[in-house]
């Protein structure tokens, strides 16, 4: 497993330089995209989890849980619509990649896609927030069980 963002020690995420870049670029998302706010977020050793709230044309105040990993694959050839979740995540991943490359990590690359999930009510929102907050604590169990994450997202 590639742990490019850092490591989990005693249930807490310890970000390295690349993990700090991922954190900083996430915080800046609303500065670059109107009608977007952020909720819970965590950088993990090989992926990030976050909740993006879209309002206006692309969101109608819909929160989305986003998980994306750093894996080597070709870039997606389909361009997302401006302001869409796809455009926001693509912009975030590009910003992280660019900053990593100029910071001495030229081999950093993301997987071409991401997982998303529409959050439909406050109970689901709170459940996902807890999942994100607890992700470092649960890392030892989940790091080798990607199928469990995929099942949880369905």
Question: Does 150 map to a domain?
Answer: no
What is the H or E stretch that residue 37 is in? strand 36-43
Question: Does 1 map to a domain?
Answer: no
Number of domains within the chain: 1
Q: If DSSP codes are grouped into helix, strand and coil, which group holds residue 117?
A: strand
Residue 134 lies in domain: 6-142
Question: Does 123 map to a domain?
Answer: yes
How many Å separate Cα 120 from the centre of its chain? Answer: 19
Question: Does 151 map to a domain?
Answer: no
Question: Does 147 map to a domain?
Answer: no
Residues facing residue 118 across a β-bridge = 64
Under a CB-based contact definition with an 8 Å cutoff, are residues 45 and 143 in contact?
yes
- Measuring CA to CA, how many Å separate 42 from each of 18, 50, 82, 102? 13, 6, 25, 23
- What's the half-sphere exposure (Cβ side, CA atoms, 13 Å) at 1? 16
Q: What is the pLDDT of residues 50-64, one digit of tens each?
A: 999 998 654 444 555
What CA–CA distance (Å, rounded) separates 106 from 112? Answer: 17
Question: Does 24 map to a domain?
Answer: yes
Of the chain, the end-to-end C-alpha distance in Å amounts to 23
Question: Does 94 map to a domain?
Answer: yes
What CA–CA distance (Å, rounded) separates 50 from 40? Answer: 6
Burial class (CB in 10 A: 0-12, 13-18, 19+), 1: exposed
Q: What CATH number did the domain enclosing 107 receive? A: 3.30.70.1290
Which segments of the chain have a pLDDT < 70?
1, 56-79, 143-154
Most distant CA atoms of the chain, gap in Å:
42
Predicted local confidence at residue 21, as pLDDT: 98
């Amino acid at each position: 497993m590639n742990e490019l963002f850092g490591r989990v020690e005693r249930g807490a995420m310890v970000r390295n330089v690349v993990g700090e870049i991922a954190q900083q670029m996430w915080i800046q998302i609303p500065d670059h995209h109107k009608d977007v706010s952020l909720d819970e977020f965590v950088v993990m050793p090989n992926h990030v989890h976050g909740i993006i709230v879209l309002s206006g044309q692309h969101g109608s105040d819909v929160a989305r849980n986003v998980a994306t990993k750093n894996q080597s694959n070709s870039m997606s050839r389909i361009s997302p619509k401006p302001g869409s979740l796809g455009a926001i995540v693509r912009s975030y991943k590009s910003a992280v990649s660019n900053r990593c490359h100029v910071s001495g990590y030229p081999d950093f690359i993301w997987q071409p896609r991401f997982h998303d999930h529409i959050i439909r009510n406050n109970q689901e929102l709170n459940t996902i927030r807890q999942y994100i907050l607890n992700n470092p604590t649960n890392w030892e169990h989940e790091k080798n069980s990607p199928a469990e994450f995929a099942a949880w997202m369905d």
